[in-house]
Amino acid sequence: MLSRLVLTDFRNHADLTLVPGGGFVVLTGENGAGKTNVIEAVSLLAPGRGLRAAPLGEMARQGGKGGFGVAATLETTHPQSPSHVWEGLGEGLSRGGQAGAEDPAGGEISIATGTIATAPERRIVRIQGATAPATALAEWLTVLWLTPAMDRLFVEPASERRRFLDRLTLALAPGHAVHSSRYDAAMRARNRLLGEASEGAPLDADWIAALEAQMAEHGAAIDTARRETVAALGLRLAEQPDGPFARAGLALEGWTGAGETLAGDLATGRRRDMAAGRTLIGPHRTDLAVSHLGKAQPAALCSTGEQKALLLGIVLAHAELVAERTGRHPVLLLDEVAAHLDPRRRAALFAALAGKGQVWMTGTEAALFAELHGEASHVALPFVR
């Protein structure tokens, strides 16, 4: 869990410090108060581009000094050495690190991310004061989220469902972030070579073959991890009794080639990919198919309410699976989750989440969380112009 969160020049927050509790953390306030901005900051403490998938340059506060900082103290189950002073990431990250350094060793770790004014699109990550790749964050914190924009997940392009699936997979296999990053880097380099060749440049056969071998190696790991996640989560969902949240059936569609054949398939498909201007086979062409088990119907054909219930069911089951497999609960970020649920489903949701780790929720009114009966850390954010 996060025991301390410090935001500096992040979105609309010039300087915000929160000390949340270990269970429900409820953020309320008017539209524009920056509730979603807070949980977006938490989402950046895991690999990836956060719950909005926005460019880093958009996250720095307008009118600020340039760059932003998100720093946190994380309570873990394993003792760690004391934090060091954070250097080079600006005042916000330095203060966040120094605050952690005052705490004694014994299960606390300081993590931070952000940018500096001279490099607004280069993300910097520090763990215990040491520079680290963003993928290393997966070893310390698992973060999952649901936002109103995800209500259309089942009718959006396949890329959005892959992103959702990869977040689920990362929680069970932290190395998934590294494989995904290296696969994407190799694919971008291959596409660039093919693009240059289409314009008449000679094609370096050895270099492109090496890139395809990298894609095959990391693509096989990506595909294996995704399939294991879908199988384990699908089994858990199928075994759950019927309740207020619909049970989802999960399957992978699209590219299904075995990793050991991918290098050969890429080599034989160079001319096709050159004409298309992109790589047409590989795990980046996979889709997550979701169905409503009770109605035997694709999720895309379900009502908006049913789709939201399916998503909630998936996230709740996955959180249980993560806790069972890893021994730690994921941090859940639920943006405006209570706004469109009837009182019965709200109460059922809160009951299902109770005791399941730290859960951050946002809403415009405290009344939406009355069923919690005061069992939450409550933060009322003022409107910030």
**pLDDT over 60 (residue 102):** no
Q: Is 41 helix (H, G, I), strand (E, B) or coil?
A: helix
User: What is the percent of the chain where pLDDT is above 90?
Assistant: 68
**pLDDT, position 94:** 38
CA-only gyration radius of the chain, Å: 22
Amino acid at 10: F
Q: Is 9 helix (H, G, I), strand (E, B) or coil?
A: strand
19/83: higher pLDDT: 19
Element holding 195 (H helix, E strand): helix 176-198
Query: What confidence tens digit (pLDDT) does each residue in 333-376 have?
Result: 999 988 878 888 888 899 989 988 999 999 998 888 988 877 88
Q: Band of the pLDDT at 77, cuts 50, 70, 90?
A: low
Over residues 179-194, mean pLDDT = 96
**pLDDT, position 81:** 35
**pLDDT over 50 (residue 100):** no
**pLDDT, position 382:** 82
Strands of the 119-127 sheet, one edge to the other: 13-18, 2-10, 67-75, 108-116, 119-127, 130-131
Tokens of 45: 């403490």
User: Cα-Cα-Cα-Cα dihedral of 324, 46, 134, 256, to 10°?
Assistant: 60
Over residues 7-26, mean pLDDT = 94
**pLDDT over 80 (residue 233):** yes
**pLDDT over 50 (residue 80):** no
Distance, in Å, from the CA atom of 307 to the CA atom of 168, rounded to the nearest integer, reads 18
The answer to whether residues 35 and 29 touch, using CB atoms and an 8 Å cutoff, is yes
The answer to whether residues 170 and 144 touch, using CB atoms and an 8 Å cutoff, is no
Over residues 145-149, mean pLDDT = 92
Helices (H), 257-369: 259-268, 270-276, 304-326, 343-353
Q: Which of 37-51, 106-120, 248-262, 290-304 has the weakest average pLDDT?
A: 248-262
360/245: higher pLDDT: 360
**pLDDT, position 97:** 36
Over residues 140-147, mean pLDDT = 92
**Around Cβ 223, how many Cβ atoms within 10 Å?**
21
Distance, in Å, from the CA atom of 370 to the CA atom of 375, rounded to the nearest integer, reads 10
Q: Which of 154-168, 238-252, 319-333 has the weakest average pLDDT?
A: 238-252
Q: Band of the pLDDT at 92, cuts 50, 70, 90?
A: very low
Distance, in Å, from the CA atom of 167 to the CA atom of 172, rounded to the nearest integer, reads 9
**pLDDT over 90 (residue 242):** no
This prediction's pTM: 0.83
**pLDDT over 60 (residue 95):** no
Over residues 26-30, mean pLDDT = 93
**pLDDT over 60 (residue 279):** yes
Distance, in Å, from the CA atom of 40 to the CA atom of 50, rounded to the nearest integer, reads 6
Distance, in Å, from the CA atom of 245 to the CA atom of 3, rounded to the nearest integer, reads 30
The answer to whether residues 83 and 105 touch, using CB atoms and an 8 Å cutoff, is no
**pLDDT over 90 (residue 86):** no
Based on the number of CB atoms within 10 Å of its own CB, is 334 exposed (0-12), middle (13-18) or buried (19 or more)? Answer: buried
**pLDDT, position 338:** 85
Over residues 299-312, mean pLDDT = 90
Report how far apart, in Å, the C-alpha atoms of 335 and of each of 25, 100, 144, 154 are: 12, 28, 11, 18
Over residues 41-69, mean pLDDT = 93
Distance, in Å, from the CA atom of 11 to the CA atom of 299, rounded to the nearest integer, reads 34
What does the mean pLDDT of the chain come to? 87
